[in-house]
Amino acid sequence: MILNSDSSKPIYVQISEWIENEIISGNFNNDDKVYSQYQLAELFNINPATAAKGLNILADEQILYKKRGLGMFVAVGARERILDKRRNETLKELVDALVIEAKRLNVAENDLIMMIQERNRKRSEEK
Protein backbone atom coordinates (compact mmCIF):
# COMPACT_ATOMS: atom_id res chain seq x y z
CA MET A 1 0.00 0.00 0.00
CA ILE A 2 1.12 3.49 -0.75
CA LEU A 3 -0.03 6.20 1.61
CA ASN A 4 -1.76 9.14 0.00
CA SER A 5 -0.35 12.39 1.34
CA ASP A 6 -2.98 14.29 -0.70
CA SER A 7 -5.84 12.45 0.97
CA SER A 8 -8.17 14.22 3.36
CA LYS A 9 -7.44 11.35 5.78
CA PRO A 10 -4.45 11.92 8.03
CA ILE A 11 -1.49 9.57 7.51
CA TYR A 12 -1.95 7.98 10.95
CA VAL A 13 -5.57 7.08 10.04
CA GLN A 14 -4.35 5.56 6.77
CA ILE A 15 -1.83 3.50 8.78
CA SER A 16 -4.53 2.22 11.14
CA GLU A 17 -6.81 1.35 8.20
CA TRP A 18 -3.94 -0.46 6.44
CA ILE A 19 -3.33 -2.60 9.54
CA GLU A 20 -7.08 -3.25 9.80
CA ASN A 21 -7.08 -4.40 6.17
CA GLU A 22 -4.15 -6.72 6.91
CA ILE A 23 -6.13 -8.23 9.79
CA ILE A 24 -9.30 -8.60 7.70
CA SER A 25 -7.39 -10.29 4.89
CA GLY A 26 -5.83 -12.77 7.32
CA ASN A 27 -2.25 -11.51 7.09
CA PHE A 28 -2.39 -10.92 10.85
CA ASN A 29 -4.33 -13.25 13.12
CA ASN A 30 -5.21 -13.27 16.83
CA ASP A 31 -2.11 -12.76 18.99
CA ASP A 32 0.18 -12.12 15.99
CA LYS A 33 2.75 -9.38 16.47
CA VAL A 34 2.21 -6.44 14.12
CA TYR A 35 4.79 -4.03 12.77
CA SER A 36 6.42 -1.69 15.26
CA GLN A 37 6.16 2.07 14.87
CA TYR A 38 9.75 2.06 13.60
CA GLN A 39 9.09 -0.67 11.04
CA LEU A 40 6.01 1.21 9.83
CA ALA A 41 7.99 4.45 9.70
CA GLU A 42 10.64 2.80 7.54
CA LEU A 43 8.11 0.94 5.39
CA PHE A 44 6.10 4.08 4.59
CA ASN A 45 8.85 6.69 4.98
CA ILE A 46 7.00 8.55 7.73
CA ASN A 47 7.77 9.85 11.19
CA PRO A 48 7.72 7.11 13.88
CA ALA A 49 5.40 9.29 16.00
CA THR A 50 2.87 9.28 13.16
CA ALA A 51 3.09 5.50 12.93
CA ALA A 52 2.70 5.23 16.71
CA LYS A 53 -0.45 7.35 16.56
CA GLY A 54 -1.95 4.91 14.03
CA LEU A 55 -1.08 1.96 16.26
CA ASN A 56 -2.51 3.70 19.32
CA ILE A 57 -5.84 4.26 17.58
CA LEU A 58 -6.11 0.50 17.16
CA ALA A 59 -5.05 -0.12 20.75
CA ASP A 60 -7.73 2.32 21.95
CA GLU A 61 -10.30 0.39 19.89
CA GLN A 62 -9.07 -2.91 21.40
CA ILE A 63 -8.01 -4.19 18.00
CA LEU A 64 -4.39 -4.32 19.15
CA TYR A 65 -2.91 -4.76 22.59
CA LYS A 66 0.51 -3.90 23.99
CA LYS A 67 2.94 -6.31 25.57
CA ARG A 68 5.41 -4.18 27.46
CA GLY A 69 8.81 -4.42 25.87
CA LEU A 70 7.60 -6.74 23.11
CA GLY A 71 5.35 -4.62 20.91
CA MET A 72 1.79 -4.61 19.67
CA PHE A 73 -0.28 -7.72 19.00
CA VAL A 74 -3.64 -8.48 17.40
CA ALA A 75 -6.36 -8.80 20.03
CA VAL A 76 -8.60 -11.85 20.08
CA GLY A 77 -11.75 -10.97 18.11
CA ALA A 78 -10.12 -8.02 16.35
CA ARG A 79 -11.26 -9.09 12.89
CA GLU A 80 -14.89 -9.25 14.02
CA ARG A 81 -14.62 -5.85 15.75
CA ILE A 82 -13.22 -4.30 12.58
CA LEU A 83 -15.96 -5.82 10.42
CA ASP A 84 -18.65 -4.62 12.83
CA LYS A 85 -17.15 -1.13 12.94
CA ARG A 86 -16.99 -0.89 9.17
CA ARG A 87 -20.54 -2.19 8.73
CA ASN A 88 -21.94 0.14 11.37
CA GLU A 89 -19.94 3.26 10.48
CA THR A 90 -18.26 3.21 7.09
CA LEU A 91 -20.90 1.30 5.16
CA LYS A 92 -23.75 3.33 6.63
CA GLU A 93 -21.99 6.58 5.65
CA LEU A 94 -21.52 5.30 2.10
CA VAL A 95 -25.15 4.21 1.86
CA ASP A 96 -26.32 7.59 3.19
CA ALA A 97 -24.22 9.40 0.59
CA LEU A 98 -25.48 7.08 -2.16
CA VAL A 99 -29.13 7.62 -1.22
CA ILE A 100 -28.68 11.40 -1.08
CA GLU A 101 -26.99 11.45 -4.49
CA ALA A 102 -29.65 9.16 -5.98
CA LYS A 103 -32.36 11.56 -4.78
CA ARG A 104 -30.48 14.51 -6.26
CA LEU A 105 -30.36 12.67 -9.59
CA ASN A 106 -34.01 11.56 -9.35
CA VAL A 107 -33.04 7.89 -9.36
CA ALA A 108 -35.90 5.77 -8.04
CA GLU A 109 -35.25 3.43 -5.14
CA ASN A 110 -35.97 0.35 -7.26
CA ASP A 111 -33.57 1.56 -9.95
CA LEU A 112 -30.88 2.13 -7.34
CA ILE A 113 -31.42 -1.37 -5.96
CA MET A 114 -31.21 -2.82 -9.47
CA MET A 115 -27.94 -0.92 -10.09
CA ILE A 116 -26.46 -2.35 -6.90
CA GLN A 117 -27.60 -5.87 -7.77
CA GLU A 118 -26.16 -5.58 -11.29
CA ARG A 119 -22.83 -4.32 -9.97
CA ASN A 120 -22.78 -7.16 -7.46
CA ARG A 121 -23.39 -9.70 -10.24
CA LYS A 122 -20.55 -8.26 -12.31
CA ARG A 123 -18.17 -8.41 -9.33
CA SER A 124 -19.13 -12.04 -8.75
CA GLU A 125 -18.39 -12.86 -12.40
CA GLU A 126 -14.99 -11.11 -12.18
CA LYS A 127 -13.89 -13.45 -9.40
Query: Does residue 78 carry a pLDDT above 90?
Result: yes
Greatest pairwise CA separation for the chain in angstroms: 58
User: What gap in Å lies between CA 97 and CA 126, rounded to an integer?
Assistant: 26
Q: Phi and psi dihedrals of 32, rounded to 5?
A: -75, 145
Q: Phi and psi dihedrals of 71, rounded to 5?
A: 125, -160
The predicted structure's pLDDT at residue 126: 85
Per cent of the chain over pLDDT 70 is 98
Query: Does residue 33 carry a pLDDT above 80?
Result: yes
Task: Let me know if 37 is exposed, middle or buried by CB neighbors in 10 A (0-12, 13-18, 19+).
Answer: buried
